[in-house]
Amino acid sequence: MKLTRLKTAALAAGIATMMTSTALAADVKATMIIYLDPSVQFFNPVVKGAKDAAAQFGVDLDVQYANNDPVRQNDLIESATAAGVDGIAVAISSSDAFDDSICAAVKAGIVVIGFNNDDLEGAKGNCRQAYVGMDEFASGYDLGNRMIKEFGLKSGDVVFNPREIPEASFAVARGGGIEKAMKEAGIKVETVRAGLDPAEAQNIMAQFLIANPSVKALFGTGSVTSTVGAGAIKDANVKIPFGGFDLAVEIVNAVESGAMYATMDQQPYLQGYYPIAQIALSKKYGLTPTDVDTGQGAFLDKSRISSVKPLIGSFR
């Protein structure tokens, strides 16, 4: 069941009042597995949310990074399973690579909650008991349609949607949503692999724009392409509308200045907080983990962006 933003806020308030003001004894063990490495700043609020929940609900939390290596990620899942943890929170960055290890963990009685990235088939494609994160396909579709309407994109136009890791589930889902909106309007989507290094991604994107002057709009797919998109447009000396995903200081500055139309915020703090809270509630009280859509009301344009700027890196 997808929770509305109001219900999500009510859930946060409700479970908070269940706890005392002091941290509980750590009688639940959980492992959080992030598919990238610690240098990716997007996950800082995720980790803060997870640690806050761990302190509040009495969870011994171990945060691990897979460094964009599916083999390492499977090893981390299997190691947590062998250690007998009570719960695993894992970013399901591939719809196929982690099926066996996650199912094995669930069969061993471990609560497994996906966060940030989900199997493209949702619960039908993976044994995880719940998912906490943005509906990425719907968000891509929403952003695509908003930019079509705002900038008069029309049939026959070409837009550019570079993707950090094209095979990653977030890129497939978000890019798929953008492509659906464009296809319905008769607009062609071009894409390239941009990678995770910001400087390299900016250069790749700028060179594409220089080589393809007919491009009418740019869509960032993740935090890297969205962070460097305005710079790539400037480097290419073109003037095209630009929208993307996630939050960083550079993204907020670009939206505030008008260099970027809008960004889709997925509220990463909640993606860390809720999985750990739900693992604890499941183990302590037998409560069933529940899907939480953290992308409700995610559209941030110039009229809304300034309010979140002081929270970047901590809660947003």
Domain residue ranges of the chain, discontinuous segments joined by +: 5-134+266-297, 136-264
CB of 68 closer than 8 Å to CB of 170: no
Q: Indicate the pTM of the whole model.
A: 0.86
CA pair distance 114, 106, nearest whole angstrom: 12
Domain 5-134+266-297: CATH superfamily is Response regulator (3.40.50.2300)
The backbone torsions φ and ψ at residue 194, rounded to the nearest 5 degrees and listed phi first, read -95, -25
Q: Which pair of tokens denotes residue 60?
A: 């011994």
pLDDT of 107-117, one tens digit each?
A: 999 999 999 99
CA pair distance 151, 115, nearest whole angstrom: 33
5-134+266-297 and 136-264 in the same fold: yes
CATH of 136-264, one of 3.30.70.360, 3.40.50.300, 3.40.50.2300, 3.40.50.261: 3.40.50.2300
Please, which residues bridge with residue 217 across strands?
159
Question: pLDDT above 70 covers what percent of the chain?
Answer: 92
Local structure of residue 4 (DSSP, 8 states): P
Read off the amino acid at residue 102.
I
pLDDT, averaged across the chain: 92
pLDDT of 81-108, one tens digit each?
A: 999 999 999 999 999 999 999 999 999 9
pLDDT of 29-79, one tens digit each?
A: 999 999 999 988 899 999 999 999 999 999 999 999 999 999 999 999 999
Q: Which long-range contacts (CB under 8 A, 24 or more apart) does 61-64 make?
A: 61/30, 61/31, 61/32, 61/276, 62/29, 62/30, 62/31, 62/32, 63/31, 63/32, 63/34, 64/31, 64/32, 64/33, 64/34
